[in-house]
């Protein structure tokens, strides 16, 4: 089982003290978490992209480049890149640069995003799906082909273009489609791409129909990944007592994009948010693997103003006592 540390970078105060770290400390802490994740045995790290919210990471590729310089085995992925908001030529160049810097560890998760405010600010609210589709097709060609001639609707034509540097991984770095919709699953099938389910506060079982559709169409090929909010401590009581106020603060903040409008923290900890001692967390993550036929799991620990040391302690404990017992 491949396991990635997912970090979206919310900048919320600690609900227990009311204190918030500086933006500089918050961003630097994310780099440190990734370094510790490699030491703990994680496969990779995925860092999200957001704009105009208290998710303060707007350029994940810069953090990933910094992490690349301090790690040697960790896979380095965005989580996600808002592809409809970017020029695919620049995305291809940035991804290939990260791949070269990291000696072949770069990945990309692309998605349309969940913020209409961001869509409006980037001027893509009326044609988001079509722009995403076109940008993804061009991105894959730029990564795979040394010379591209292309014409589309949303950018100027390309004639005999070679993006540089060329990626080390061949035919290209891994690109995931991030979505829980049937339309995106069908696009993943058409383009032969792995499917990354969305990071939400909803019941993971709601993804079963989309996963079954994807798996059936892929006929034994493909990969499916699921992000989960996770917290582990030596005892279940300690885990729940420590995490409850932070999960509550985060759920209230993230509910407009990732929830159902009804924040019940106790229900979350028994459902979409995986919390407990190492045995309980292992069993629940294995149950999700069985439910959805997962190949990869992403665990999201750093939420709701959780103190940095608590995040690091959880990453280390997860690596010691959960990772070795996850089903492949």
SS in 3 state form for the chain?
A: CEEEEEECCECCCCCCCCCCCCHHHHHHHHHHHHHHHHHHCCCEEEECCCCCCCECCCCHHHHHHHHHHHCCCCEEEECCEEHHHCCHHHHHHHHHHHHHHCCCCEEEEEECCCCHHHHHHHCCCCCHHHHHHHHHHHHHHHHHCCCEEECCCCCCCEEEECCCCCCCCCCCCEEEEECCCHHHHHHHHHHCCCEECCCCCCCHHHHHHHHHHHHHHHCCCCCEEEEEEEEECCCHHHHHHHHHHHHHHHHHHHHHHHCCCCCCHHHHHHCCEEEECHHHHHHHHHHHHHHHCCCEEEEECCCCCCCHHHHHHHHHHHHHHHHHHCCC
Residue pair 278/219 in contact by the 8 Å Cβ criterion: no
Q: Give, in order, the Cα–Cα distances in Å from 287 to each of 163, 223, 281, 283.
A: 43, 17, 10, 6
259 pLDDT exceeds 80?
A: no
261 pLDDT exceeds 70?
A: no
How many whole angstroms separate alpha carbon 67 and alpha carbon 63? Answer: 6
* Terminal-residue alpha carbon distance, the chain: 4
Bridge partners of residue 300, in order along the sequence: 229
Higher pLDDT, 262 or 15: 15
pLDDT score for 320 = 98
Cα angle 223, 228, 229; round to 5: 160
Per-residue model confidence as pLDDT tens digits over 61-85: 999 999 999 999 999 999 999 999 9
SS in 3 state form for 10-32?
A: ECCCCCCCCCCCCHHHHHHHHHH
**What is the CATH code of the structural domain delimited by 2-325?**
3.20.20.30
Compute, in degrees rounded to 10, the torsion defined by CA atoms 33, 264, 21, 199. 40
Q: How many CB atoms lie within 10 A of CB 286?
A: 17
pTM: predicted TM-score of the whole model, two decimal places: 0.96
pLDDT score for 229 = 96
Bridge partners of residue 44, in order along the sequence: 4, 75
Residue pair 67/29 in contact by the 8 Å Cβ criterion: no
How many whole angstroms separate alpha carbon 8 and alpha carbon 153? Answer: 31
123 pLDDT exceeds 80?
A: yes
pLDDT score for 69 = 98
pLDDT score for 122 = 87
pLDDT score for 10 = 97
Per-residue model confidence as pLDDT tens digits over 206-253: 999 999 999 999 998 999 999 999 999 999 999 999 999 999 999 999
Bridge partners of residue 225, in order along the sequence: 196, 296
């Amino acid at each position: 089982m491949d396991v990635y540390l997912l970090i979206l970078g919310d900048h919320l105060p600690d609900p227990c003290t009311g204190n918030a770290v500086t933006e500089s400390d918050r961003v630097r802490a994310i780099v440190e978490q990734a370094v510790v994740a490699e030491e703990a045995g994680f496969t990779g790290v995925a860092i999200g992209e957001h704009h105009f919210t208290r998710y303060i990471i707007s350029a994940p590729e810069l953090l990933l480049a910094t992490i690349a310089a301090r790690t040697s085995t960790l896979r380095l992925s965005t989580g996600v890149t808002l592809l409809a908001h970017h020029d695919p030529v620049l995305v291809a160049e940035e991804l290939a640069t990260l791949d070269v810097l990291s000696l072949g560890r770069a990945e990309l998760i692309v998605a349309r995003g969940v913020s209409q405010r961001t869509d409006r600010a980037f001027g893509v609210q009326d044609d988001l799906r079509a722009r995403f589709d076109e940008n993804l097709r061009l991105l894959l060609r730029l990564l795979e082909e040394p010379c591209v001639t292309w014409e589309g609707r949303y950018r100027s034509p390309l004639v005999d273009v070679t993006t540089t540097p060329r990626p080390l991984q061949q035919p290209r770095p891994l690109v995931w489609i991030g979505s829980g919709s049937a339309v995106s699953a069908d696009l993943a099938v058409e383009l032969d791409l792995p499917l990354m389910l969305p990071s939400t506060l909803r019941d993971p079982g709601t993804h079963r129909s989309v996963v079954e559709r994807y798996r059936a169409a892929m006929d034994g090929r493909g990969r499916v990944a699921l992000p989960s909010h996770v917290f582990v401590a030596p005892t279940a009581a300690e885990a729940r007592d420590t995490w409850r106020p932070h999960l509550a603060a985060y759920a209230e903040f993230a509910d407009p994009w990732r929830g159902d409008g009804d924040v019940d923290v106790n229900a979350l900890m028994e459902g979409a948010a995986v919390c407990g001692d190492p045995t309980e967390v292992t069993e629940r993550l294995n149950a999700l693997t069985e439910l959805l036929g997962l190949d990869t799991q992403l665990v999201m620990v750093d939420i709701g103003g959780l103190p940095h040391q608590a995040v690091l302690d959880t990453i280390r404990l997860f690596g010691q006592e959960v990772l070795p017992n996850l089903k492949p």
